[in-house]
Amino acid sequence: MTRLTVLQLDDAVPLDRFGPWLRDAGARVTVVDVPGSHRAGRGVPGVDALGDGLVVLGGRMSAHDTEAHPWLTALAALLADCVEVDLPVLGICLGHQILAEALGGQVRVADPGGGEVGPVALRWAEAAASDPVLAGAVAAGQRVAESHHDVVSHLPAGAIALASSAAYPHQAFRVGSALGVQFHPEAGPALVGRWEELSGHDPTPVVVALAAVDAEVSAVGRAVAEGFVRVCTPAPH
């Protein structure tokens, strides 16, 4: 069975629908509470402990909040190590941003454009249709769930751009074994609504908007999960 490690960076940003989708695709999933592990003195796991692939979830902190969250520095180093040894990585939202900076890109915190919340239509790049993880998502649709105010402003050198939106050009990219996505393939309408509540906003408009297109949003999200398990599955001997 394919063994995946999921790094949860914030208790308000769980695996949500990705958990069942990853397991249905044949993965055994171990979730690591990174802040809790840091408090317990265990820190961020090493590459050898990750199994066949790594998923890094989002969070309400920024990629630059290293003083309040010192484990961010170790996490960035881990992501660079994963690419070095060709271990598959999927970075989601904050995970995508940390991945970009770990590999030499740049993140802009609290973008003046206001970020994106709710359903957003992606423009898939031509390369996405042949990407080992995203090909199925390209076939499934364009609309995804978003919830972010920080953005990747510059991709790492050599990165392959895979998706954009009307507001932001860097919605997905690949460097070697690592894929970063700004959108939330794992999140259902209720979870995005919960994030709006935590931000002091009325969740109803976002929940209603996402629910109206959830057939497409969930199909894209499930395809990302299935694609990632495929690239992580060891070849039979």
Positions marked active-site: 93, 184, 186
- How many other C-beta atoms lie within 10 A of the C-beta of residue 200? 6
Angle ∠(77,54,136) on CA atoms, nearest 5: 130
Strand partners, 123: 164
Could you identify the residue written with the tokens 């009325």? 202
What are all long-range contacts of 199-208, with beta carbons under 8 Å and residues at least 24 apart?
A: 205/118, 206/117, 206/118
Q: Is 49 helix (H, G, I), strand (E, B) or coil?
A: helix
User: How far, in Å, CA of 121 to CA of 129, rounded?
Assistant: 16
Quote the tokens at residue 42: 């265990």
Q: Which residue in 170, 222, 164, 215 sits closest to 189, CA to CA?
A: 215
* Under 8 Å between Cβ of 31 and 57: no
What does the CA dihedral 167, 226, 128, 180 come to, rounded to 10 degrees?
A: 50
* Under 8 Å between Cβ of 150 and 115: yes
Could you identify the residue written with the tokens 């390209």? 138
